[in-house]
A and B are shown apart, each in its own frame.
Chain A
Amino acid sequence: MIRRLAIATAAAALLAAGCGGDGDEQPTLAALEKKFICPTCQTTLELSNAPVADRMRDFIRQRLAAGDSEEEIEEALVAQFGEAVLASPPKEGFNLLAWVLPLAGGAVAVAAVAVALRRWSRSRPAAGPAPAGAEPLDPELERRVDEELARFEG
């Protein structure tokens, strides 16, 4: 069970990490608007109608028309506005922590829950027949219980 959970978590992490690459496809303005932040309003371009966001959209449109790749456009915008213009931090250097820490935190949390569940299930007494050494029921009491149950059910 725990192993399955760990495999599922690792697979989800790999999928999440793999979602960043779009291969060689030409990016669209709509896709890029989600990847850059308007420096004055601190929202992604798709949500901003600030003048600087309009200007950034124009810039992206021009670069797309010129056939630039997503990386080239990103490089040009970072050169003008700094890394704060990126909606997601780059997956390198110190910024890598922003990607690794949540995944590591999630993995630690899953492991902690798994360990806690395991300990909890071990500490619970097993259900089933009365444990050995338990006192047998008094015959008179057993007879009265049976009578009461018969009356209740009848």
Chain B
Amino acid sequence: MARRVKLILQAAAVFVVVLLVALLGWKVTDVAEGRGLDAALERGERPAAPQLTLDSLDGEGEIRLADFRGKAVVLNFWASWCEPCKDEAPLLEDVWQRYRDEGLVVLGIDAQDFRSDAQRFVDRFGLTYPIAFDGHGSSLGKFGNTGFPETWFVGRDGRLVGDHFVGPFTREQLEENVRAALDTPAR
């Protein structure tokens, strides 16, 4: 009887250890997935953009990145408390206005922020492009983002293209990457 109890306890201990190792592996893989995107772009590859489904900032439904398939997307992660984001906002609005008829979408993702602050930011800069709200910051890990602002470019085929900006970009850099994204085949 005692031997049986001992076996059961040993099996339970092994199970707990395996479970913890599996959790650790899952967490490491999850983080590494986002980091891999950057490395792939640097190698000249075009990895598929991770799927995103988030609430829109104005609370009117959800925004899915997949819904923009066939269009080029500038994916800008920002927050109202981020100083460089204030410099980028007018540039992003400008390219959205100039290239939207060619099939460009600027998608802002406001993360780790107060919704009310984000709405004030949008009003202040007169932003009209779609903005998703991710207060929890759950989308950041999918891309391996480490701060604000960060910007990715998604081609019409749903694959990443061009540069990944960690921190602010210049007007020229933005134009160059918008063109690269627009020039991708829709497939």
Chain A contact residues, CB within 8 Å of chain B: 39-40, 51-52, 54-55, 59, 79-82, 84
B10 to chain A, nearest CB (A): 13
CB contact between B136 and one of A51, A55, A59, A84 (< 8 Å): that residue: A84
Number of A-B residue pairs, CB cutoff 8 Å, is 32
Which B residues fall within an 8 A CB radius of A?
79, 81-83, 112-115, 117, 135-138, 147-148
For residue A39, give the distance in angstroms from its CB to the closest CB of chain B.
4
Supplied contacts A40-B148, A52-B79, A80-B135, 15 more A-B pairs, CB within 8 Å: A40-B147, A51-B82, A55-B81, A55-B114, A55-B117, A59-B114, A79-B135, A80-B114, A80-B115, A81-B112, A81-B135, A81-B137, A82-B136, A82-B138, A84-B137
Could you tell me if A52 and B113 are in contact, using CB atoms closer than 8 angstroms?
yes
Please report the C-alpha to C-alpha distance between residue A59 and residue B136 in the assembled complex, in whole angstroms: 17
Residues of A within 8 A of B113 (CB): 52, 80
| A40→B147 CA distance, assembly (Å) | 7
Minimum CB–CB distance from B115 to chain A (whole Å) comes to 7
Q: Can you report 20 residue pairs joining A to B where beta carbons are below 8 Å apart?
A: A39-B137, A40-B112, A40-B148, A52-B79, A52-B112, A52-B113, A54-B81, A55-B81, A55-B114, A80-B114, A80-B115, A80-B135, A81-B135, A81-B136, A82-B135, A82-B136, A82-B137, A82-B138, A84-B136, A84-B137
* CA of A132 to CA of B147, assembled, Å: 79
- Chain A's nearest CB lies how many Å from the CB of B57? 13
Chain A contacts of B112 at CB under 8 A?
Answer: 39-40, 52, 81
Report the Cα distance A81→B136, complex, angstroms: 4
Interface centre among A52, A59, A81, by most B CB within 10 Å? Answer: A52
Residues of A contacting B136 in the complex (Cβ-Cβ under 8 angstroms): 81-82, 84
Q: Which residue of B lies closest to A51 (CB)?
A: B81
Contacts of B135 in A (CB 8 A): 79-82
**A61 CB to nearest chain B CB (Å):** 14
Q: Which of A52, A79, A82, A84 contacts B81 (CB 8 A)?
A: A52
Q: In the complex, how many angstroms separate the beta carbon of B136 from the nearest chain A beta carbon? A: 4
Residue of A nearest to B80 (CB): A55
Report the bound CA distance from A81 to B111 in whole Å.
9
Chain A residues in 8 Å Cβ range of B81:
51-52, 54-55
Residue ID in chain A nearest B114 by CB atoms: A80
- In the assembled complex, the CB of A46 is this many whole angstroms from the nearest CB of chain B, namely 18
Contacts of A54 in B (CB 8 A): 81
